[in-house]
Amino acid sequence: MSTYVPSPSSIERRWHVIDAGEQVLGRVATVAAKLLQGKHKPKYAPFLDTGDFVIITNARQVKLSGAKEDQKLYRRHSGFEGGLRETRAKTMRQRMPARMVEAAVRGMLPKTKLGKHMYRKLKVYAGPDHPHAAQQPVRFEVS
């Protein structure tokens, strides 16, 4: 008996829309990461990208639990000495609300080339509209 390995032609890619409005950020991110990796499919293989495309809308309205709105920090570094920049979640939501959701989902994906390929299938929008109507995305509920 041999191990089944799905071929690239047998992998079906679907489009899912997740409405993040009034949802907790961590719950939205875990569902999105699961869809991007393909763990919801019977043909899942950890060494292949079997996942789907994910569109997240209303990123501006996502909720943070506890006191994270004032205490959570997003860090980035320019690469130069003293180049560390820290931004609180409150200001990140005002300036770049989509980046909050992107950072949460990216942290839940594998830290490999395969994980980067999965991350490219994520589309995040601050408002309720997205330009992917031609792909006929299916609404996915976060429970």
How high is the pLDDT of residue 2? 87
pLDDT of 44 over the 90 cut = yes
All structural domains of the chain, each given as residue ranges with its CATH number in brackets, are: 13-65+96-139 (3.90.1180.10)
Instruction: Please state the rounded mean pLDDT for residues 67-75.
Output: 95
Report pLDDT for 71. Answer: 96
DSSP the chain: -------GGG----EEEEE-TTSBHHHHHHHHHHHHHTTTSTT--TTS----EEEEE-GGG-B--TTHHHH-EEEEE-SSTT-EEEEEHHHHHHH-HHHHHHHHHHTTS-SSHHHHHHHTTEEE-SSS--S-GGG-PEE----
Average pLDDT for 91-109: 96
Going by pLDDT thresholds of 50, 70 and 90, the confidence category of residue 143 is confident
pLDDT of res. 4: 86
Is 0.85 surpassed by the pTM of this model? yes
